[in-house]
Copies of this chain bind each other. A is one copy, B any other.
């Protein structure tokens, strides 16, 4: 994380990871991801996450993960968890899964409808 990150003043953050995954590897990828998600979902400050899969095989970003956290600190602590790192390493080393990941932290700047409660 770099020095030009804006302060969030301890408020909630959303972690989003945008993946390019070959279509034939998506099932394997999701199996790995479920292990990671189980670990994250028990971490302090975890609010919720959703894994989205593209309806069309032509979509560039086949998988998008959206996870809400109470604070940046809670997310940083969860990522630093050794158990999480072990499973993340297993995913990275699985030769059958060639992914391009684009992970980053976000803030919600506008919300409507059932997403208004941030």
Cα of A96 to Cα of B59 in the assembled complex, Å: 27
Q: Which residues of B contact A4 (CB under 8 A)?
A: 56-58
Residues A113 and B5 in contact, CB atoms below 8 Å apart? no
Question: Residue A59 contacts which of B46, B52, B104, B109 (CB distance < 8 angstroms)?
Answer: B104
- List the B side residues contacting A5 at CB < 8 Å: 55-56
Interface size in chain A (residues, C-beta < 8 A): 51
Is B16 within 8 A of A105, CB to CB? no
- Chain B hits for A38, CB < 8 A: 112
What are 26 A-B interface contacts by the 8 Å CB criterion? A1-B56, A4-B58, A5-B55, A5-B56, A8-B55, A13-B55, A14-B50, A16-B64, A34-B110, A38-B112, A40-B112, A46-B112, A46-B113, A47-B113, A48-B115, A49-B115, A50-B108, A52-B106, A52-B109, A53-B108, A53-B109, A55-B107, A61-B104, A66-B66, A68-B113, A68-B115
